[in-house]
Structure 1
Amino acid sequence: MHTTTSAHRLGALGLAATLAVAACGSDDAASDGGGPDSAPASSCADAIEAPTPAAATGSTAAMSDDAMDDDAMTDTTDGAMDDDAMDDDAMDDDAMEMDMSAMDMGDASATPASDVDGAALACGEFELLDSRPSGYDDVAGSAVIARSDAGTTVTTRLTGLLPNVDYVSHLHEDPCSDSGGDHFQFVDGDVEVPPNEIHLLFTSDGQGEGFMTAENDAVAGDDAVAFVVHPVEFIDNKIACVDFAADDPDAVAAAIESGPAFDESQLEGMAGTDMDEMDTDEMDMDEMDTDEMDTDDGGSADDGGSAPDPDDDG
């Protein structure tokens, strides 16, 4: 994690605050005819409109075909998973040691960041990154981070994604000009999953829209400056990035100073844990509706790595 001071970080946020008004779509004062004495609306409070519950999907929903490991399951003729046909070696107690339900990777029904009472808000719009796979040129959307006495809440909504595909997004430590740099961590080290990091795992709907909110009991520090979204299947390919700009940098600084600190005891026994270990053999299958799984099309997130180069004829 970077050691840049809060004053330096929040100074940069202050310089960017005027850009946040445009980035987060707050032209309310002008459209309402407000004069110079009108109080400006909070740009981040209006940055994201939550979708209807039916449109929101998350980490507890059944994973899409491409994110499932066919080696860990066998289809029956009707497409539902046959529990008796499961590979016992892959699904034994040792393989279940990592329970994804214990990690907060998002809850679409949680209070969105923009609606957290008394929170200091920062937000921004996604900009496309050169590392994005082909098919993502129309991605757009916003992200909001809220810091409060309750901890940290992050909400994102995107359009232009591929439909019915799994995505993961994270807080990052560097600006989008550096593609976000490394993941933000509460404690520097080799625990690269929640609660030490803030991840939002979600599945796009049939129209290519995605929405998710994640919460953490601790307040993220001033080095949580950006937010990046990746496809789960090609985790090394960053699609788009948000540079957070604060509505009120002083309020953000105060929230960081007075908010709840991270409880490092949560990381006991998690040394070396990262996303590479979180394949389907280690997911908590109790959280997944096997009747909704359909693996007829195959595919596996375990392939990992990067998407093929769209310019590569091979």
Structure 2
Amino acid sequence: MSNTDTAPTEVTCAPSPFTGVLRAREVPLGGPRAMLVRRTLPQRERSLIGAWCFADHYGPHDVRGGVGMDVPPHPHTGLQTVSWLFSGEIEHRDSAGVHAMVHPGELNLMSAGAGICHSEVSTPATTELHGVQLWVALPEEARHSSRGFAHHKPTPRVVDGATLLVFLGQLAGEHSPVETYTPLLGAQIDLEPGASVTFDVDPGFEHGVLLDRGAVRVGGTTLDVADLWFQAAGSHQLTIDNPAAEPARVLLLGGPPFPEQLLMWWNFVGRTHDEIVEYRRQWEAGDSRFGAVTGYRGAVDRLPAPPLPNATLRPRPNPGV
């Protein structure tokens, strides 16, 4: 998914002393009349949870006869995209030659490495579109790697009134076979009414709980839909309660504090101002760094890059790392 802000701000991605709840802001996907998504990462208070550096939550949207998702080819550097659906179907095409469908409960992970471009379009058969789009920052040793793609359909597991789908990392004895460049945790957790579940977690991980539906309580705090609760590294357990009479669903994200200084602007993750400037120049010039998507049939061939800000983009040290 692309960051379609027409005037994206500089984001200096770094952990902070913040602990608590991040509230989402609404962003149009593909223009002011397009589908709205709720963005919880990055924010001023918190820009990273482990290597997770971007989180959009959307839906459920009734897309019958209306505008669904139609994101033209757009570039990425230095990151991986994690597509996860609750309902609907999305067609993925990328410049590595991958043509794949994103289905509910199945992980599609695309590695940009040094550069890739891709498109995302909800299919005509989709009546309701509902899911999340996540980005993972690549560490220095992997960010200049080649393009890649992985797919995984996790097996559900029931634990204390909760059903788990572990799509990255490991939790409660479930393990995803998908390899990542830094340790990560990604899991969907569906909680029955009145359920309370406690997980043993890696104390070296930061964790985030993103509420998709229902009402849950984490760390003594009740979350609203699209809220992202953050827990700093150092805890051995994490408890999620569903006190309501209706089912609830969350995503649990985690990873060790990311030790590197990052810059994220538009769809690029880099390290310096000059890198971002060069990435933008190459995308606008049609450079082979990003390749080309074949088979996309949208109104425009590719998304143009927005103008750079009239300022120098600067990283900052990661406090506490």
**TM-score (norm. length: structure 2):** 0.23
| Structure with greater strand percent | 2
Larger Rg: 1
| Structure with greater helix percent | 1
